[in-house]
């Protein structure tokens, strides 16, 4: 049993009151912790486990079709009555020019040769076979399903859809990786900003420019706090109570947790991927565009070493679509050298406990 001093009890009560009037109140949750969406890793079961822990679960919809989005939303609703957020990608889709067609063909041929040399049999798609979904149909689905919390990344929603979602009573949380992006989100009427530090695992949420200064997360958080007036959630490098308290001191009213849950019971990662995580060291965590065409932080492997800084990286989402089958085949054959294993810079022991248990332990450490 924990014994607290009077000053500590007062501090906890003060923090609880602050959270009650901010992130917790906005999202109707008990604790100011958000499970990171992590498309490809999270599952509806992870979303539900986070929600049942009193946190905000996030259902990753990425750039799925409206039909698939509805299917996952309805599945999650059947598993819990607690609030949860849906998360989508709002990137700009590059125009298919003659130059892009030529670059795609060149990259495809190079990757096919690479696969052959490494005894991997995978049929990579032609450009004309790739279907790229815009987020507009997903917004229709989100409104139809009456979702009350939407987070998004890779860009900002257009004005019309912001208004439609607000009329539906949907709380909007955008992702920023710079002060400029934070200001754009605030000025467009977004309710909450997720400040993503450079330490965070997975894809960078940059949208003003991919060439933003690679500023440390806590430095960025402090600057964004001084620049905007809406509530902030911080993501990047948090894995225990101390890191949560540090983020709060710099202006965060909520905390988005991702890498801590990678090996959890509800994670979609396979056993060989979880074992690879447990053996990773700090110099193996890198930023790369090799798998998707956008910067993402993960574990270095043979594919990254071969493709990064080469001429064989297409703009997102075409690189991502081109390498999708390659990654699927590699994952099926448990080949860690050709799968994307996203992880943040704060290495931990990657517990295989349930998401609920991991988050409840984190809450206990914070208190």
Distance CA 85, CA 97 (A): 36
Angle at 155 between CA 152 and CA 156, to 5 degrees: 75
CATH topology of domain 6-93+133-263+350-366: TIM Barrel (3.20.20)
pLDDT of res. 249: 96
Closest CA to 152 of 59, 254, 41, 28: 59
- Each domain of the chain, given as residue ranges in start order, spans 6-93+133-263+350-366, 96-131+281-342
Distance, CA of 99 to CA of 103 (rounded, Å): 6
DSSP 41: T
Listed residue (86, 85, 65, 67) closest to 134, CA to CA: 65
Q: Which two tokens stand for residue 346?
A: 């704060």
Residues forming beta bridges with residue 196, ordered by sequence position? 235
Residue 262: which residues within 8 A CB-CB, separation 6 or more? Answer: 38, 41, 201, 269, 274, 277, 343, 350
Specify the pLDDT at position 213: 63
* Spatial separation of the C-alpha atoms in residues 200 and 217, rounded to whole Å: 8
Nearest to 42 by CA among 60, 55, 68, 56: 60
**Which pLDDT score is estimated for 11?**
47
Please tell me the predicted confidence (pLDDT) of residue 53.
Answer: 97
| Alpha carbon of residue 236 to chain centroid | 10
CA distances from 23 to 27, 35, 173, 234, 259 (A): 6, 14, 11, 12, 21
pTM of the model: 0.92
Q: Please tell me the distance from the alpha carbon of residue 298 to that of residue 259, in angstroms, as a whole number.
A: 10
Tens of pLDDT along the chain (367 residues)?
444 444 443 444 444 434 444 899 999 999 999 999 999 999 999 999 999 999 999 999 999 999 999 999 999 999 999 999 999 999 889 999 999 999 999 999 999 999 999 999 999 999 999 999 989 999 999 999 999 999 999 999 999 999 999 999 999 999 999 999 999 999 999 999 999 999 999 999 999 876 766 789 999 999 999 999 999 999 999 999 999 999 999 999 999 999 999 999 999 999 999 999 999 999 999 999 999 999 999 999 999 999 999 999 999 999 999 999 999 999 999 999 999 999 999 999 999 999 999 999 999 999 8
Three-class SS state of 86? strand
Residue 112 neighbours by CB distance under 10 Å: 15
| Those residues with Cβ within 8 angstroms of residue 288's Cβ, 6 or more apart along the chain or in another chain | 295, 296, 297, 298, 300, 304, 308
Task: Please report, for residues 22, 138, 162, 266, 326, the alpha-carbon distance to residue 191 in angstroms, rounded to integers and kept in the order given.
Answer: 11, 19, 10, 29, 38
Provide the pLDDT for residue 18. 41
């Amino acid at each position: 049993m924990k014994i607290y001093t009077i000053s500590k009890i007062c501090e906890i009560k003060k923090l609880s009151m602050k959270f009650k009037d901010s992130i917790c109140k906005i999202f109707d949750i008990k604790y100011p912790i958000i499970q990171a969406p992590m498309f490809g890793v999270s599952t509806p079961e992870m979303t539900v486990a986070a929600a049942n822990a009193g946190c905000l679960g996030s259902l990753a919809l990425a750039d799925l079709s409206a039909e698939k989005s509805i299917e996952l939303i309805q599945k999650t609703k059947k598993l819990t009555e607690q609030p949860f957020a849906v998360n989508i990608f709002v990137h700009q889709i590059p125009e298919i020019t003659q130059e892009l067609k030529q670059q795609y063909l060149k990259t495809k041929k190079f990757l096919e040769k690479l696969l052959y040399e490494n005894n991997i049999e995978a049929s990579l798609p032609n450009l004309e076979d790739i279907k790229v979904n815009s987020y507009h149909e997903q917004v229709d689905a989100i409104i139809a399903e009456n979702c009350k919390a939407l987070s998004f990344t890779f860009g900002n929603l257009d004005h019309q859809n912001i208004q439609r979602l607000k009329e539906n009573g949907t709380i909007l949380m955008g992702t920023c990786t710079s002060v400029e992006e934070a200001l754009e989100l605030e000025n467009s009427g977004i309710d909450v900003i997720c400040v993503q530090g450079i330490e965070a695992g997975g894809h960078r949420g940059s949208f003003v420019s991919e060439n933003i200064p690679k500023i440390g997360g806590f430095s960025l958080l402090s600057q964004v706090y001084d620049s905007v007036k809406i509530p902030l959630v911080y993501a990047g490098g948090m894995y225990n109570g101390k890191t949560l308290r540090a983020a709060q001191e710099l202006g965060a009213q909520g905390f988005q947790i991702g890498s801590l849950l990678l090996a959890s019971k509800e994670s979609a990662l396979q056993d060989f991927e979880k074992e690879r995580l447990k053996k990773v060291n700090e110099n193996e965590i890198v930023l790369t565009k090799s798998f998707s065409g956008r910067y993402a932080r993960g574990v270095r492997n043979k594919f990254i070493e071969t493709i990064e800084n080469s001429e064989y990286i297409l703009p997102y989402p075409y690189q991502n679509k081109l390498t999708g089958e390659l990654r699927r085949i590699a994952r099926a054959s448990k080949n860690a050298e050709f799968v994307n294993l996203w992880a943040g810079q704060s290495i931990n022991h990657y517990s295989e406990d349930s998401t609920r248990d991991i988050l409840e332990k984190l809450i206990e450490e914070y208190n």
